[in-house]
Structure 1
Amino acid sequence: MSEACTHDCSSCKSNCDHRAPQHEPPHARSRIQKVIGVVSGKGGVGKSMTSAMLAVSMRRLGFKAGVLDADITGPSIPRLFGVKGPATGDGESINPVSSRTGVEIMSINLLLDDPEAPVVWRGPVIAGAVKQFWQEVVWDVDFLFVDMPPGTGDVPLTVFQTLPVDGIVIVSSPQELVGMIVGKAVQMAQMMHVPILGLVENMSYAVCPDCGKHINVFGDSHVDEIADKYKLPVLAKMPIDPELAKEADAGMIEMFAGDYLDNAAQTVAKLLKK
């Protein structure tokens, strides 16, 4: 976004980065009905976990789902699903890798010879890789979830300007500081004319295994206050669940039976009726 810009750029003909986006078409053979961004203003709040679980939830509802891992320098989607590359292609297109239950996945880790090799690229190159995942990968999904890197920089801007995002889910955690960070994500989405589906609070609490009491490990939740401030629904409050962590570390996220994101999945599913 231009630092000097202080006006509403929705009809601006200047070079403001947050003017109305000019979306790029996907691959000619792709079938993508809805694109959902999963975002946050900071790292470590569980965007990748939320993206993966939403895709799994949509598969359980009978939809075709995919995850575009736009976190180029910190990709974790393949590990959560237990999938490995290399992704195949014909020189002109790339095929996503399918998980055990048929979730389509594309990530930079599926294209690297060594998935642990660091991606030391500058912003424009990283943004270009995200555009490649949109324009050169052949997707066949009802819902494509885009797992964003943290912040409001090059990649989120590229996604909002290049992809026809139908809505975003903002992920937060209970700390009061996160409220300010969520506000940045909300305002960026509004500037880019992207609908906000709601908030998901991750690590909201832990359940005592002996008495069942909810323990606020990171302090009292502020997600309801944030939601009220921006007139947004709270889609889920996900606890710290050792079983979920275990399945995620084992690459078996699809085997986790929790229903924490069922309400969020139902909200996403309603987009097909519009």
Structure 2
Amino acid sequence: MKVRPGPTTPVRIRQLSGTSARDRRDDLATEEPLEIRLQADDGTRTVAITMRTPGHDFELAAGFLHGEGVVRPGGIAGIAYCTDADLPPEARHNTVTVRLRGPLPDLATLERHFLTSSACGVCGSATLEDLHARCTPLPRGDLVLTPEVLYGLPYRLREGQGVFGKTGGLHAAGLFTGDGELVAVREDVGRHNAVDKLVGWAALSGRLPLSDHVLMVSGRASYEIMQKALAAGVPAVCAVSAPSSLAVELAREFGMTLVGFLRGERCNLYAGEERVTAPPER
């Protein structure tokens, strides 16, 4: 029995090609649940269960908690896999316990976020108002991006996707300098998880805020991804695909640069174009 899940899972498949068929091995991106628990002197509480690709689980937990405004990096005393004796061995590596330095935080805001994420009567304006309660607009800063740097980001991100090369089924999030140098990359079946892993890496290594960096994601730019980038202080987000309307609204309201449809030597600037030295409009 496999005790600790890995990022890929081998399976046997039948492959058809024209009029022939053959049996062969294929590698799939692993998808397993991860339970995130908070532990303090006054108790233990489960705060989230997410489907993810195993790997960098501690970073995922730290990044998720930071992005949702639940726990700041300085409030984390330690992170470990669960050791509860009543759990089977294979389940222990799907449960992460985050030990806090103080008491359990008020989780009412987090609970409301999950309860209202798909509820009737919730609008984008209300969502942005809630975000203003814990985040402030980002300053203009010194980050300046050239079109040449932007055009190279998807290729450098793809070069860093080791598991995608085996499975073809993972999203990625990459952190870059303003010169286009890849700092770190994380992969996951969920694009938001990939961002959480990246932010968690930065949080646990004392790199926040990421005020002079660029976030590149392999899919579309959603409100959730922009929220996580904002909480980490990332001023510029680039995506291979389209942004959502609320993602654009968030970027404009909080002073972020948002680049979409970044493919080849083309892209759309949806917000914060002042950080990009684009050629004159024709």
TM class by shorter chain equals 0.3 to 0.5
Higher relative contact order (CA 8 A, sep 6+): 1
